[in-house]
């Protein structure tokens, strides 16, 4: 009987840990930014380098999946591809822009373009 209780406790703990891990993964999403202001900011601060024929090539929220945007932002990948080009963009502006990209990414519930 004691063993039975022990294995029940063990099972509950395992389930609890599994739930916590899943929640943490979901929370890794980009959140807290203002996607609406991000759209305007993207037009102002990103688009001039990201139209057909410009240095950065075309870029819209559809260029990446949500997970790819998240990785792109958290791993500072722009700085590796085009060093310094984000230096004049404030962190809170970037968060809004990334929120817009993320919310309308290729695999998001509302895929959208940069107004193109
Ligand atoms: C001063 C020019 C410039 C500005 C401003 C700029 N970029 Fe870029 N971006 C580049 C260049 C150059 C590349 C590299 C293109 C390549 O490797 O072919 C790039 C690459 C990218 C890529 C593609 C990376 C990949 O995985 O292939 C994304 C996405 C991107 N930029 C997003 C943005 C966003 C979002 C903004 C605004 C916050 C922005 N860029 C502002 C020049 C710029």
Question: 79-86: long-range contacts at Cβ-Cβ below 8 A with a sequence spacing of 24 or more?
Answer: 82/49, 82/55, 82/56, 85/49
**Which pLDDT tens digit goes with each residue over 68-78?**
999 999 999 99
Ramachandran class of 29: left when φ > 0, alpha when ψ lies in -120 to 50, beta otherwise: beta
Q: Which pLDDT score, from 0 to 100, does residue 116 have?
A: 45
Judged by DSSP in three states, 32 sits in coil
Q: Which pLDDT score, from 0 to 100, does residue 1 have?
A: 62
Looking from the CA of residue 89, the nearest atom of ligand 1 is 38
Tally the C-alpha atoms within 13 A of residue 79's C-alpha that lie toward its C-beta.
11
Looking from the CA of residue 63, the nearest atom of ligand 1 is 29
**What whole-number distance in Å separates Cα of residue 108 and Cα of residue 106?**
6
Q: Is 106 touching ligand 1 by the criterion CB < 6 Å?
A: no
Q: What is the mean pLDDT of residues 92-101?
A: 97
Q: What is the mean pLDDT of residues 92-114?
A: 91
Q: Is 105 touching ligand 1 by the criterion CB < 6 Å?
A: no
- Where b means 16+ CB within 10 Å and e means fewer, 34-71 reads bbeebbebbeebbbeebeeeeeeeebbbbbbebebbbe
Q: What is the mean pLDDT of residues 49-61?
A: 92
**What whole-number distance in Å separates Cα of residue 47 and Cα of residue 20?**
39
Global pTM value? 0.80
Percent of the chain with pLDDT over 90: 66
Q: Which pLDDT score, from 0 to 100, does residue 65 have?
A: 97
Q: Is the pLDDT of residue 110 over 50?
A: yes
Q: Which pLDDT score, from 0 to 100, does residue 14 have?
A: 72
**What whole-number distance in Å separates Cα of residue 100 and Cα of residue 84?**
22
Q: Is the pLDDT of residue 114 over 50?
A: no
């Amino acid at each position: 009987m004691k063993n039975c209780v022990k294995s029940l406790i063990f099972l509950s703990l395992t389930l609890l840990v599994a739930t916590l891990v899943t929640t943490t993964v979901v929370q890794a999403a980009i959140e807290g930014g203002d996607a609406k202001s991000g759209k305007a900011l993207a037009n102002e601060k990103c688009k001039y380098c990201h139209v057909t024929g410009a240095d950065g090539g075309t870029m819209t929220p559809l260029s990446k999946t949500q997970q790819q945007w998240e990785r792109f932002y958290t791993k500072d990948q722009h700085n590796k591809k085009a060093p310094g080009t984000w230096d004049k963009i404030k962190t809170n502006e970037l968060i809004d822009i990334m929120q817009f990209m993320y919310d309308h990414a290729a695999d998001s519930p509302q895929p959208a373009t940069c107004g193109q």
